[in-house]
Homo-oligomer: A and B are copies of this chain.
Amino acid sequence: MRIGVLTAGGDCPGLNAVIRSVVHRAVVDRNDEVIGFEDGFKGLLDGRHRPLDINSVSGILARGGTILGSARLERGRLQEACRNSEELLERLGLDALIPIGGEGTLTAARMLADAGLPVVGVPKTIDNDISATDRTFGFDTAVTVATEAIDRLKTTAESHQRVMVVEVMGRHAGWIALEAGMASGAHGICVPERPFQIDDLCKMVQERFARGKKFAVICVAEGARPAEGSMPYEKGQIDQYGHERFAGIGNRLAIELEHRLGKEARPVILGHVQRGGTPTAYDRVLATRFGWHAVEAAHRGDFGRMTALRGNEITMVPLADAVAELKTVPQERMDETEAVF
């Protein structure tokens, strides 16, 4: 078999582990040929690819990033490619294509599959918001990095009687905020799924100070929003080139809390640290399993589907399911912690 593999979308710890696993299973065990496309779908359409053998994946298991690169593609080009899918397939000479990526990538993968390409998807997102799989690799690493940061911030907050507001990733789903908040014992957690009441946060801080716990940590997803009327919504700051910039919810919430409480509040924006670097052991195992099962699916001719974790098993689910609905944090999960939401 001739198998193509590509990585698309934002960085995510574990991408290299998938690539390595695909090569190990396909080339070593099954005598396949594997080629890697550079810079995602761009390399696919431009025909930029290189052979991947066992040496080209040596030492990458624990490495962040992706050896294949990743770049954005204008949607138009992909649609055009779908219209000429037969020509594309012939040109590439592929028996299977394994795109590794998030929601956008899986949508594109589905388009290509619908156009007749033999696609096996592998889902990735640090946000953990793909509904067809219990977990995605990259998420555990993001939660781990965020938790270690909050562990550090707590002692500072306590010594200086401060409120620390930690902004973590999660534009549409609050999984990272929820789990990092639970793991680090944050006293407030704000998620996109539920607009927060600034009054509730203030009350929580005041009650803590009243009973002698003179600090608080609030973990905020970047996509969290105040309930209407709860907080004067600052429209965002304009940089000298006319773009709205860096005026995230973490900064705004810290300003607001300091003003209302009359206590020091400091924002910390964790940013890209969460999505780079070496994956946790959990993510390396999950990524390796996904890669292995993607090759097996290709050999079974099980196309138009993607790998998914269900319990302890890796199963295949339709690509359509993957992108049908965002997996968001349900109310029951928020109830499981004493933190204020």
Residues in A lying within 8 Å of B, measured CB to CB: 7, 10-11, 15, 24-25, 28-29, 58, 61-66, 69-71, 134-135, 140, 143-147, 149, 151-161, 164, 179-180, 182-185, 213, 232, 234, 237, 239-241, 245-246, 251, 255, 259, 266-269, 271-273, 275-278, 280-282, 284-285, 288-289, 292-293, 310-312, 336-338
The answer to whether A234 and B240 have CB atoms under 8 Å apart is yes
- The residues of B that contact A338 with a CB separation of less than 8 Å are 24-25, 28-29
- The residues of B that contact A154 with a CB separation of less than 8 Å are 64, 276-277
Nearest neighbor of A145 in chain B, beta-carbon distance: B152
Bound complex: CA A138 to CA B272 (Å): 25
The answer to whether B276 and A152 have CB atoms under 8 Å apart is yes
Known pairs A241-B255, A310-B311 / 12 extra A-B pairs, C-beta < 8 Å: A11-B156, A65-B155, A69-B159, A71-B160, A134-B311, A152-B272, A152-B273, A157-B276, A180-B281, A183-B282, A232-B240, A282-B282
- The residues of B that contact A151 with a CB separation of less than 8 Å are 62, 277
Bound complex: CA A240 to CA B259 (Å): 10
Given that A144-B281, A292-B336 are contacting pairs, would A276 and B153 also be in contact in the complex, using a CB cutoff of 8 Å?
yes
Tell me, rounded to whole Å, the shortest Cβ–Cβ distance linking A268 to chain B: 5
Bound complex: CA A179 to CA B311 (Å): 16
Question: Which of B66, B146, B184, B280 is within 8 Å of A159, CB to CB?
Answer: B66
The answer to whether B251 and A245 have CB atoms under 8 Å apart is yes
Question: Which of B156, B276, B278, B336 is within 8 Å of A289, CB to CB?
Answer: B336
Bound complex: CA A48 to CA B278 (Å): 34
The answer to whether B160 and A11 have CB atoms under 8 Å apart is yes
Bound complex: CA A42 to CA B89 (Å): 52
Q: Report how many copies the assembly holds.
A: 4
- The residues of B that contact A158 with a CB separation of less than 8 Å are 65
Given that A63-B155, A182-B288 are contacting pairs, would A239 and B255 also be in contact in the complex, using a CB cutoff of 8 Å?
yes
- The residues of B that contact A311 with a CB separation of less than 8 Å are 134, 310-311
Bound complex: CA A155 to CA B180 (Å): 22
Bound complex: CA A38 to CA B90 (Å): 46
Question: Which of B135, B155, B272, B310 is within 8 Å of A153, CB to CB?
Answer: B272
The answer to whether B11 and A155 have CB atoms under 8 Å apart is yes
List 24 A–B pairs whose Cβ atoms lie within 8 Å, in order of A's numbering. A11-B155, A11-B159, A24-B338, A25-B338, A62-B184, A64-B152, A64-B154, A69-B161, A70-B160, A134-B311, A143-B281, A143-B285, A146-B281, A147-B281, A151-B277, A156-B275, A182-B284, A232-B240, A241-B255, A246-B246, A269-B269, A269-B271, A289-B336, A292-B336
Tell me, rounded to whole Å, the shortest Cβ–Cβ distance linking A210 to chain B: 13
Question: Which of B62, B70, B140, B269 is within 8 Å of A282, CB to CB?
Answer: B140
Tell me, rounded to whole Å, the shortest Cβ–Cβ distance linking A241 to chain B: 6
The answer to whether A285 and B182 have CB atoms under 8 Å apart is yes
Given that A66-B159, A251-B246 are contacting pairs, would A268 and B271 also be in contact in the complex, using a CB cutoff of 8 Å?
yes
Bound complex: CA A254 to CA B204 (Å): 36
Tell me, rounded to whole Å, the shortest Cβ–Cβ distance linking A15 to chain B: 8
Tell me, rounded to whole Å, the shortest Cβ–Cβ distance linking A34 to chain B: 14
